[in-house]
Amino acid sequence: MSSEDLEKYEAEMELQLYREYRDVVGLFGYVVETERRFYLTNHVDLQPRSTENGEMYFEVVMEDAWVWDMYRPARFVRNVRVVTFKDVNVEEITKADLELPPAEGRD
C-alpha cells in the first residue's frame, strides 16, 4: 500500500466518522474532551482528585457514550472511566447549538 493510498483511506475514514458524528450528536446531552479522546454522552461525572504528594488529577465517568475514534470498530460504549492529569472539558449540548440559522432571504 502506497502512502497516497494510506492517506486516501484515512481521509475516507475521517469523513465516515464525521458523518456518523453528525447523525448521532442529537442523541446526546454532553460533549467531553480529554487529551486523548472526544466523547458524546448523556451522563458525565467529573471528580477532581489529588495524589498523596498533592498533584491534581481528574476522574471522569460516563455512561452511554459515543467515542470519536476512527480506529474503533464500535464507537458506542456503555461505561467509560478516564483518569487524567490533563485538562478535561465538559460542555452541555443545547438543541439550539445543533440547529442551522435561517438563511437570509428565505421565509
Listed residue (103, 24, 105) closest to 67, CA to CA: 24
Beta strands in the chain (DSSP E): 30-33, 38-50, 56-67, 76-84, 89-92
Strand ranges, E, within 12-55: 30-33, 38-50
Q: What is the pLDDT of residue 31?
A: 96
Separation CA 79–CA 64 (nearest Å):
6
CB 67 within 8 A of CB 14: no
Is residue 10's pLDDT more than 70? yes
Per residue in 26-77, pLDDT tens? 999 999 999 999 999 999 999 999 999 999 999 999 999 999 998 888 899 9
pLDDT of residue 73: 83
pLDDT of residue 97: 57
- The pTM of the whole model exceeds 0.75: yes
